[in-house]
Amino acid sequence: MAEASEFSSASRPMADGEEIFDVVIVGSGGGGLVAALAARAAGLQPVICEKQRVIGGSTGMSGGMLWIPDNPLMKADGIKDSYQDGRDYLRAVIGDPDEPSSAARRDAFLVSGPQMISFLQEQGLRLVRCAGYPDYYDNYPGGSAAGRSVEGIPWDGRQLGPWRPRIIGGLGEGVGLAVTTGEIHTLNSFTHTLASFLTTARVVLRTYGSRLRGQDLFTNGKSLAGQLTKILLDRGVPIWLDTAVDDLVTENGRVVGVRAVREGRPVLIRGRRGVLLAAGGYERNPEMRLKYTAATQPNDGQRSWGNPGNTGEVLAAAIALGAKTEYMDEAIWLPSPRAELGGSSLTIARNYPRTIFVNNRGQRFVNESNSYVEVGRAMYANEAAPCWLIFDDAYRRSVPWVNHLPRLRDIAAVIPGRMPRQWLADGWIKRAATIEELARLTGLDPRALAATVRRFNRGAVAGTDPDFGRGDSAYNRHLGDPGHRPNPALGPVADPPFYALPIYPGDVGTMGGVVCDARARVLDHDRQPIPGLYAAGNMAASVFGRTYPGAGASIANTTVFGYIAARHMAASAREAAAP
């Protein structure tokens, strides 16, 4: 198989340092990969420009789910859903339409999403439905407790040949298991129910069985990125790595290409039909983050878990060209402990019984089990950035604390309750015999914290949360402890000793950017399309506004609008060729 630098046969060199394609795609995440495939299927010649030396972007690093209402995998399983249900749900969750989340863009997403899934399946992408993974607000009008998310199958990366090491590292590698995103939430409760144990056993057997067979199973976002890359390579689509785009090229008011540095050499890459920006957000650009968030959510991105390549220069180029922007102070928030504790059970503790979040007044301020984006926004709105995670010894005893699959000789490390003593010795986690003493260790008001815990416990014992409704939705219960009754998401913080640690408003990416129309065309400040310029994903202000409706919403957003952009460019090409 040819090397990346040799994949220019589909282009026609125009001059030294200049090449031309039908479509120039900036970024190799889900939106860029799907757009390239849609463009190629429509008879166009696309090129993907990726500034890193690996393919997949934020999609490849992620859980890899796609949240698509009324998708064909749901239909195949007999799960009832409809366009209208999806429309009602988006209205209930997001609220009234605005420009980035206009009625037309929502409709375009809902109509094109199922079409895109069918198209990808026809092209050879293998997907499974994440059965039973509810929408994040399944108890809202139009919500689905059965779930609307799909993901790639565990897929053998050896099929990529020499391109295998060029797929960005994924979620499953962090825990050392070939685990799907639909399965991963069960790992912390493998000793709690038979179903959780059997799921965990299946994952472990799959992992070691594949290794014995010499396979390299890709799961989560890595499966999605790997499968799409293989399909594109088989169709001869150029994927240029180490190609950093730094400017947009215009002629007569139309975007006609990009300027880039490819493997150290300046190059002008022209696109006859257009340029699609799918290069991710700007979470790794501290200056941009502080510029756009200083007044509302001051954050320099130092606690971001996002793609290191998302530094915002392509977005800045679009802004300099006159593109309108929205939601620039927003991110896909992910409440997280300090980096050394990342990946441990502390990252999901808020979903489990016997835990609460409190602000610096010692008060609860949110349904801890709701969407991570909602919780992150609530942290900023309630003097809780950071907040404190409070839990009791019953929680400590109930979960495994390792953040990866240990070697076989160290397998005892996964036994629940073995929280590393060093975390206490280093002061990362505070421990005390009483809630009042814990408050003094954390600088909180002892009476306020004790009152908060008492109030929470009164409802939690009965499985209710009158203040914030924790545990009311199927989503809350799904991510809780399946072995806990009466409510998997709720249990009293009552068993001493008690523990506390700070939780920060981390993120997995920004979600503000250029404003686009229903055809993924970038709009200027007069709300007119900038000719030749399209955007998808975290480059663009989200169709979901400031919300996150379900697992895989950001990947669905980028892939659907990448698909829409490619189809619009193909239709424009047909119109131009018509007599």
Using pLDDT thresholds of 50, 70 and 90, give the confidence band for residue 579: confident
Give pLDDT, residue 402: 74
Average pLDDT of the segment spanning 444-453 = 98
Task: Note the pLDDT of residue 5.
Answer: 32
- Other beta carbons less than 10 A from residue 238's beta carbon: 24
The DSSP symbol for 516 reads B
Reduce the DSSP state of residue 166 to 3 states and report it: helix
pLDDT tens by residue, 384-398? 999 999 999 999 999
Distances (CA, A) of 290 to 294, 308, 505: 5, 17, 14
Looking at residue 12, its pLDDT comes to 45
Report the sign of the C-alpha dihedral through residues 335, 338, 339, 343, in that order.
negative
51, 91, 105, 145, 248 from 87: Cα distances, Å? 37, 6, 11, 16, 35
| Confidence at residue 406, expressed as pLDDT on a 0 to 100 scale | 55
Binned at pLDDT 50, 70 and 90, residue 256 comes out as: very high
Alpha-carbon distance 250 to 270, whole Å? 10
> What is the model's pLDDT at position 11?
44
Q: What is the pLDDT of residues 79-104, one digit of tens each?
A: 999 999 999 999 999 999 999 999 99
Task: Report the chain's mean pLDDT, rounded to a whole number.
Answer: 93
- Confidence check: pLDDT of 322 > 80: yes
> Is 150:129 a contact under the CB 8 Å cutoff?
yes
Rounded to 5 degrees, what angle do the CA atoms 111, 116, 120 make?
Answer: 165
Rounded to an integer, the average pLDDT of 243-265 is 96
Q: Taking 50 as the threshold, does the pLDDT of residue 454 lie above it?
A: yes
| Unique residue bearing structure tokens 């997403």 | 109
What mean pLDDT is predicted for residues 331-350? 91
pLDDT of residue 6: 29
Residue 501 is predicted with a pLDDT of 97
**CA-CA distance, 549 to 554, in Å (whole number)?**
9
The percentage of the chain sitting over the pLDDT mark of 70, rounded to a whole number, equals 95
Q: Return the pLDDT at 404.
A: 57
pLDDT digits (tens, 9 = 90+) for 160-201: 999 999 999 988 777 788 999 999 888 888 889 999 999 999
Tens-digit pLDDT profile for residues 529-569: 999 999 999 999 999 999 999 999 999 999 999 999 999 99
User: pLDDT (tens digit, 9 = 90+) per residue, 108-137?
Assistant: 999 999 999 999 999 999 999 999 999 999
Question: Which of 412, 394, 411 has its CA nearest to residue 354?
Answer: 394
Strands 217-218 and 155-156: antiparallel
174-188, 469-483, 499-513, range with the lowest pLDDT: 174-188
Distance CA 164, CA 405 (A): 22
Over residues 434-459, the mean pLDDT reads 98
- What's the pLDDT at 202? 93
- Per-residue confidence band for 413, with pLDDT thresholds at 50, 70 and 90: low
Phi, psi at 456, each rounded to 5°: -60, -45
pLDDT, position 573: 75
- Token pair, residue 494, equals 């009552």
Provide the 8-state DSSP code for 340.
G
Tell me the pLDDT band of 505, cut-offs 50, 70 and 90.
Answer: very high
Is the pLDDT assigned to residue 10 strictly greater than 50?
no
Domains belonging to the chain, first-starting first, are: 8-171+219-330+511-579 (3.50.50.60), 333-503 (3.90.700.10)
Q: Each residue of 268-281: pLDDT tens digit?
A: 999 999 999 999 99
Peptide bond into 238 cis (omega under 30): no
Residues 6+ positions from 287 with CB-CB distance below 8 Å = none
Cβ pair 345, 401 in contact under 8 A: yes
The per-residue pLDDT for 4 is 35
Q: Which pLDDT value is given to residue 342?
A: 82
